[in-house]
Structure 1
Amino acid sequence: MANGIFRFTTPITERMLSVSASKQTRTTLRKCWPTRPTCSLLFRPLLTMLNFKSIHHMKTTVILAAISILFFTSCRERIDMDLDNASSRIVIEGSITNENKEHEIRITRSIGYLEEGSTPAVTNATVTITGDNQTITLTHTGHGIYKTIPAMAGIVGATYQLKVVIDGKEYMASERLNPIASIDSIAIDRANVPIQPGVIWEAGKTYYNLGVYCQEPGDQVNFYVFDAFKNGELVSDTITKQFVSDDSFINGSYIYGMYAYQVEAVPGDSVSIRMYNVSQNYYDYIVGLFSAGMSGNPFSGTPSNVQGNISNNALGYFWVSCIEEKGGIAR
């Protein structure tokens, strides 16, 4: 909060990481974005046609519209869209945080845009992560999931490099683990109105606003992702349920209970909020995902690729972040 002003933005809808003319791999990210106009461009010409001031003009418009319909319905041409034959691409997703745990890297291959089923897992990869003067080889545990075994914790200030080798081809990415502000406490306030765009309240249920109290660092630009938990279970498990923002209006300020999430709960439920400090590149990647799938144009082409930080034309993103979390009881 700077001078009593908070910056609130609108969350994106659930997005999928996709290939040009190829099936998508789900990702769980959310971008806050300014609200778009609800009036469609296709609706505006209808408003013009409904001009009752000139009957003659309306008759002319109706006649021309009828002629246009006859013309376009009488001229038909078959268009074959080759959406299934796009070449398969490697998709790599995963992260390293300052938590002491088994971190995961998931590797799959993309499939055709119109194909059904899940993306096939890559089970023959060699995966290593190098950082803080050590290299760890990850273990494949099934279904394309590779884990750091034993558990490890990322070190603040270290740069971590991911290296994946599949059939002799190398895929690499690197990110730095930046520090994060400490959360002093969280706000758990009974909500009176929805504050999370796209979320419709259900009758008879109670909702709580979750906010954070913390000193936002002023010596660097920060980009945040927020997750929410209820009774130990992740609530923000899809793109539409996460909250992402930069620190444009709060840089260097103390944040007094700024609401970052709204959750359905009942008195006695345990709730918590988790804050990530991600890189600008990862933030821009999320913006790209939003822009690629939220045009609203019914004549848009096949979903386009959003390139992450994986080399050799692979899709996905390897991100690194510190985590800060606080919780409490809903009253």
Structure 2
Amino acid sequence: MQLDFNVMRIFVLFVFCYLFLSCEKSAIEEEQSYEMIVEGGINTLYKEQYIQLKRLNISSKGSRTEGIAAAKVTVSNGAAIIVFEDLGDGLYKAELPSVSDRADSLFRLKIESNGKVYEAQDQLLSIVPIEKSFIPVEKTDAHKNWRVKVSTYLFGMRSSNKWLIMPQKAFSDESITVFKAPYSYSFKSGAPNVLNSLLASSYTYEMNKKDSLIITKFAVSPRYAKFLYNLFQETKWKGLLSAVPANVQGNISGNALGYFYVMNGIEKTVPMKNIRNSK
């Protein structure tokens, strides 16, 4: 009986400590406040470039974001300074000069807002060709159409890349502008848990058999690849619902979240007949 009593005391103490630490963590997270969230960067495949600046406040009443206006946003690569225009609601736009000879160079972001300066940098890597032997998409027969399945996450690849695979008829620069394009990701790192159902994550299109896919492959820096991998683990793998993945470290200085990226891209139109069949 004495043994059962001691076991019960230990159990109660454990539960108390757990609840105390959980409440403490929740209180800290609820009162977090960040001056800025940075999304976007430089994508050499497109002439128009977009960077979005938001302010995030988290309190016991919930989270709220709002665009940051009147900021001075510039990007430099040693050869030129790219000045971004404020379009409103925290969205900034610029036109990209030719950077074909700037592979492996550093691009530096500078944001001046409310008397403070935020900086970041990322490296532009050489374009990696699209290989016919590896495209993260497959098709199945759907009577008069093809049903196309695009894998969202792939692990253990030879290089880390970001992909955008869309039907030619549905492709629009608007998806890029508003940061809602359906990207896929291939990582050099292995999957954190091979049994997790997220490995089968995908999205599908139904297409005419004479249609084509626009397949775009982006070369990303090792640091950006690590950021995306960590972001995946925090927001997808662990199933966190928080708007602020606290363990994901970006490259923006100061009290800011996000990652300023620089990507080289290559685009290819592939007829449906050349897309591999599902096994």
Residues 326 and 92 (structure 1 numbering): CA distance in 2 closer, same or farther, change over 3 Å? Answer: same
Residues 330 and 222 (structure 1 numbering): CA distance in 2 closer, same or farther, change over 3 Å? Answer: closer
Calculate the aligned-residue CA RMSD, in Å: 4.2
Aligned residue type for 1:315 = L
- TM-superposed CA distance for 1:87, in Å, is 2.1
Residues in 1 aligned to 2:183 and 2:75: alpha-carbon distance in whole angstroms: 30
Partner of 2:114: 167
Say whether the 8 Å CA contact 2:164–2:182 is kept in structure 1.
Answer: no
2:139 to 176, 186, 190: 190
Q: Counterparts in 2 of 1:253-272, with a 5 A limit?
A: 263-272=205-214
Partner of 2:3: none
Partner of 1:208: 148
Deviations 1:265-295 (A, max 9, x none): 2312231211011011011111211222323
1:95 aligns with 2:35: no
- TM-superposed CA distance for 1:158, in Å, is 2.5
Aligned residue type for 2:187 = S
Question: Which of structures 1 and 2 has the larger relative contact order (alpha carbons within 8 angstroms, sep 6+)?
Answer: 1
Residues in 2 aligned to 1:319 and 1:151: alpha-carbon distance in whole angstroms: 14
Residues in 2 aligned to 1:124 and 1:297: alpha-carbon distance in whole angstroms: 33
1:312 aligns with 2:261: no
1:295 aligns with 2:238: yes
Aligned residue type for 1:102 = E
1:282 aligns with 2:224: yes
Aligned residue type for 1:152 = P
Partner of 1:178: 125
Say whether the 8 Å CA contact 1:222–1:279 is kept in structure 2.
Answer: no
2:171 to 229, 233, 257: 233
Say whether the 8 Å CA contact 1:272–1:327 is kept in structure 2.
Answer: yes
Decide which structure has greater strand share: 2
1:224 aligns with 2:171: no
Partner of 1:152: 97
SS at match of 2:45: coil
Aligned residue type for 1:108 = K
Residues 123 and 305 (structure 1 numbering): CA distance in 2 closer, same or farther, change over 3 Å? Answer: farther
SS at match of 1:110: strand
What 5-or-longer segments of structure 2 have no aligned partner?
1-10, 152-157, 191-201, 274-279
Residues 269 and 115 (structure 1 numbering): CA distance in 2 closer, same or farther, change over 3 Å? Answer: farther
Say whether the 8 Å CA contact 2:44–2:96 is kept in structure 1.
Answer: no
SS at match of 1:282: helix
Residues 315 and 115 (structure 1 numbering): CA distance in 2 closer, same or farther, change over 3 Å? Answer: same
Residues in 2 aligned to 1:206 and 1:316: alpha-carbon distance in whole angstroms: 37
Aligned residue type for 2:171 = E
Identity %: 24
- TM-superposed CA distance for 1:86, in Å, is 2.3
- TM-superposed CA distance for 1:313, in Å, is 2.8
Q: Counterparts in 2 of 1:120-135, with a 5 A limit?
A: 120-135=66-81
Residues in 1 aligned to 2:148 and 2:272: alpha-carbon distance in whole angstroms: 8
SS at match of 1:242: strand
Aligned residue type for 1:207 = R
Deviations 1:278-319 (A, max 9, x none): 011011111211222323599x9x853411011113100011
- Give aligned pairs, total: 228
Residues in 1 aligned to 2:81 and 2:256: alpha-carbon distance in whole angstroms: 22
SS at match of 1:273: strand
What 5-or-longer segments of structure 1 have no aligned partner?
1-67, 193-201, 212-220, 249-259
Residues in 2 aligned to 1:176 and 1:310: alpha-carbon distance in whole angstroms: 14
Partner of 1:7: none
Report the TM-score when normalising by structure 2: 0.66
Aligned residue type for 2:80 = Q
Residues 172 and 228 (structure 1 numbering): CA distance in 2 closer, same or farther, change over 3 Å? Answer: same
Partner of 2:88: 142
Residues in 1 aligned to 2:63 and 2:92: alpha-carbon distance in whole angstroms: 22
Residues in 2 aligned to 1:272 and 1:309: alpha-carbon distance in whole angstroms: 31
Decide which structure has greater helix share: 2
